[in-house]
Each structure stands twice: as C-alpha cells, then as structure tokens.
C-alpha cells in the first residue's frame, strides 16, 4: 500500500517539486487545484496522469483554501497520512495591495485545514509552510528561537499560521510542524520574484527582446537556496519521530545587486548598462536582511544544502536562456 499525501499549492514552485519527490517515493499524491479560466498546471504537466487509467498516483481536486467546507469533504474522502500546506498568496509586495485577501488565505488557510483535520478525527501529519519573512526586522542570523517582527501583511499572516500550527500541536497533540524556510528559488520560480525576474530579464536582453530591466531595492540581503533541496527537508520533517519546528537556510548572504552580478556576468553582460530603478517595486516596509541558521535541521534531520546563490543564478539563467 503506498502512503497517501495531500499537497495544497501543488501547482506552485514548491508543490511541483514536492509532488515529484513523493511520487518517486511511491506515494499516492493528491493536490488541490484552483479553478481558473486558463490552465494553471504548467509546473506539474510532466507529472500528469490520466484519471481514466487504473490507479493514477497523482490526483487533482478543485478546491480553494478560502472554502473550509470543501476542505472537510476532501480530507474525509482522501484520508491522507501527510498533509503539506503550501498554498498561499505568497508575494510580499502584493500583500500590501491585498492585505485582507492575504489574511484570508495565507493566514486563515492553516486553521481551516487544522480544524478540518480535528473535526473529522483524521490521523495525519501536518506541514505548515512558514517563512523567514516572519523574522522581518529582527537582525540576522535567525533561527527557531529568534523573535518574529513581520514587516508585511504576508509576514503577519504567516506568523498567524505559525502559531495556529504550534497551538494545534500543543493543545491537541497533533503531529503539526512549521518549516521556517528562507528564500528558495529554481527555474520554476514565479516570474515576479526578484531572482527569476532577473534571470528571465537576462535571457530576454540576450535574445534582443528587451533592452532594460526595472527593479526596486537592490540593497536587500537574502539567503537564497535551491527549492528541490528544501522540499526534501519538508518531507524529512514529517518522517521524524517527534513534531518540531525547523529553519531551512544556506547561511549565506547576498544582496539583490550581487545576484544581478552573478546572473548578468554569466552571459558576459554588465548589469549596470541594463538595470533601471522603478519605485513601484519598493515595499511600504522592507525586510533588510535575512540570513538563516539551519543547524537544528542539520543536527536532527541531517539536512544540508548544497546549491548556493552563484550556482543557482547560473542554473536559472541557463534555463531561462533555453526557454527564451
Ligand atoms: P508559489 O509558487 O507562489 O505557489 C503558491 C501556490 O498556492 C500555488 O499553487 C497557488 O495556486 C496556490 N494558492 C494560492 N492561493 C490559493 C488559494 N486561495 N487556495 C488554494 N491554493 C492557492 O509559492 P512557493 O514559492 O511554491 O511557496 C510555497 C509555500 O511556501 C507558500 O506558502 C509560500 O508562502 C511559502 N514560502 C515560500 C518560500 C520561497 O522562498 N519560495 C519561502 C518561505 C515560505 P495557483 O497556481 O493557482 O496560483
Ligand atoms: O524575490 P522577492 O519578492 O522575495 P521576498 O520578498 O524575500 O519573499 C520571498 O521569500 C520569502 C521568504 O523569506 C517567502 F516567504 C515569500 O513567499 C517569497 O517567496 O524579493 C526579494 C528582495 C526584496 O527585498 C525586494 O524588495 O528583492 C527586492 N526587490 C528589488 N527589486 C524586488 C524587486 N523584489 C521583487 N519581487 N521585484 C523587484 O522588482
């Protein structure tokens, strides 16, 4: 009998890599799909299995984190042993434009799921996609004991979800864990996050499709890792004997400016000739510096990241050049 997992956010960057990993490990994987007027399954197309075939191991279900009764019905039907809550309005800048919607989904999605699990008496392990954005203005290095000081509606909503997850663990003895993940990127990263915006920009400039790239704050420091390594960490958290919270990070720090340098220099271009400032990409409040200390995950789970920002930038530029 293969293990059964449910992934919310399966169509996103992390959801697609996690689905791949679990299918490789012989799980049956169920994913939530948001109904949209055009296809939003591009990242998992290569994993698609015809539902008419006998026993497909990837199954998609229409649902939205804002619809609590649908979550109850699905959890009862699917009876997953592991639930990975990755769905969110995940864009920090957009959360300033849509604070209420961000709260309804990024903030309230996890208590909806946790309460649904409790209501139907489902025995399962629960992973919450918490974020280094919760540390906000607290100076680095940041680990599991660092106080939160969120600087955006997104960060504040993630703090809400973090505490709800801990509360269900402490109040009801649920196996519920927070993965506090620092920025992780890949060729599947959304096109409006800064790393992918840069690497796609490089590819389009090289191909003569554009002559400038507009960005905001180049001084922000981030700890960028490689997404497939981070989803392996999520899985490891749910396999441990005890539920706990873990930071995943590389412990290395680079500015946006340095990521520009890594990306443009890889194809022999000088970024200063192409990058322009646009204030619309500034945030009402910025998170200046995130640098993680993942020693707890290293000691308990044996989790060690290998890919660092310079190699990540090269990998993403090459993928974007091939695609463009
Ligand atoms: P992503 O690419 O933006 O994917 C977000 C996923 O959530 C997509 O599948 C999206 O569906 C889905 N979603 C959004 N709103 C939903 C709703 N109301 N109901 C159901 N599904 C909804 O994000 P990611 O980079 O993979 O990140 C995964 C999770 O980790 C997110 O919770 C994010 O906040 C968190 N996180 C990410 C990072 C990072 O650096 N990547 C770091 C820390 C934490 P559509 O495809 O239909 O839009
Ligand atoms: O790539 P970003 O949008 O990522 P941010 O805000 O760090 O959030 C990401 O990582 C979090 C983990 O810490 C996740 F929880 C969250 O879901 C998301 O995945 O911006 C990175 C930095 C910021 O300081 C931003 O101000 O890049 C700066 N930046 C400069 N110009 C820009 C731009 N960011 C974006 N998105 N677009 C720009 O043009």
Taking residue 132's Cβ as centre, other Cβ atoms within 10 Å add up to 25
Residue whose CA is closest, atom 39 of ligand 2? 215
Residues in Cβ contact with 232 at an 8 Å cutoff, skipping those fewer than 6 apart: 21, 303
Q: Is 129 in the pocket of ligand 1 (CB under 6 A)?
A: yes
**Ligand 2 centroid to 106 CA: how many Å?**
16
The answer to whether residue 17 is catalytic is no
The answer to whether residue 37 is catalytic is no
pLDDT in tens, 195-214: 999 999 999 999 999 999 99
Taking the CA of 36 as reference, the closest ligand is: 1
The answer to whether residue 131 is catalytic is yes
Whether residue 53 has pLDDT greater than 90: no
**Ligand 1 centroid to 37 CA: how many Å?**
19
> Which residue's structure tokens are 């697609």?
16
Q: What is the pLDDT of residue 188?
A: 98
Q: What angle do CA 304, 305, 306 make, to 5 degrees?
A: 115
Residue whose CA is closest, atom 6 of ligand 1? 9
Q: What is the pLDDT of residue 235?
A: 98
Alpha-carbon separation of residue 129 from 173, 269, 273 (angstroms): 19, 36, 38
Whether residue 228 has pLDDT greater than 80: yes
Taking residue 233's Cβ as centre, other Cβ atoms within 10 Å add up to 22
Q: Is 134 in the pocket of ligand 1 (CB under 6 A)?
A: no
For the ranges 49-58, 80-89, 137-146, the lowest mean pLDDT is seen at: 49-58
Rounded Cα gap, residues 315 and 259, in angstroms: 12
Which atom belonging to ligand 1 lies closest to the Cα atom of 66? 18
pLDDT in tens, 258-277: 999 999 999 999 999 999 99
Rounded Cα gap, residues 99 and 108, in angstroms: 12
Q: What is the pLDDT of residue 49?
A: 87
């Amino acid at each position: 009998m293969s293990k059964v997992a449910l992934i919310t956010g399966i169509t996103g960057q992390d959801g697609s890599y996690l689905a791949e990993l679990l299918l490789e490990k012989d799980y049956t994987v169920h994913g939530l799909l948001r109904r949209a007027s055009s296809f939003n399954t591009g990242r998992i197309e290569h994993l698609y299995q015809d539902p008419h075939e006998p026993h497909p191991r990837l199954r998609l279900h229409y649902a939205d984190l804002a619809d609590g009764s649908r979550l109850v019905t699905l959890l009862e039907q699917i009876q997953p042993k592991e639930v990975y809550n990755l769905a969110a309005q995940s864009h920090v800048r957009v959360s300033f434009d849509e604070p209420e919607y961000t709260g309804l989904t990024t903030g309230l999605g996890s208590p909806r799921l946790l309460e649904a699990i409790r209501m139907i008496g489902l025995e399962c392990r629960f992973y919450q996609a918490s974020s280094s954005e919760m540390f906000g203005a607290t100076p680095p290095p940041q680990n599991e004991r660092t106080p939160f000081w969120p600087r955006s509606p997104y960060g504040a909503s993630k703090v809400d979800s973090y505490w709800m997850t801990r509360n269900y663990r402490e109040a009801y003895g649920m196996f519920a864990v927070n993965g506090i993940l620092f920025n992780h990127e890949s060729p599947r990263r959304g096109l409006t996050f800064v790393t992918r915006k840069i690497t796609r920009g490089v590819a389009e400039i090289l191909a003569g499709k554009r002559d400038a790239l507009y960005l905001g704050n180049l001084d922000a420091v981030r700890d960028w890792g490689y997404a497939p390594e981070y989803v392996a960490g999520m899985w490891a958290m749910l396999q441990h004997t005890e539920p706990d919270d873990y930071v995943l990070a590389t412990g290395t720090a680079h500015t946006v400016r340095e990521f520009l340098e890594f990306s443009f220099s890889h194809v022999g271009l000088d970024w200063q000739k192409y990058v322009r400032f646009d204030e619309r990409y500034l945030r009402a409040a910025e998170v200046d510096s995130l640098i993680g200390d993942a020693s707890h995950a290293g000691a308990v789970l044996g989790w060690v990241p290998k890919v660092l920002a310079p190699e990540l930038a090269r990998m993403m530029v090459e993928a974007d050049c091939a695609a463009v």
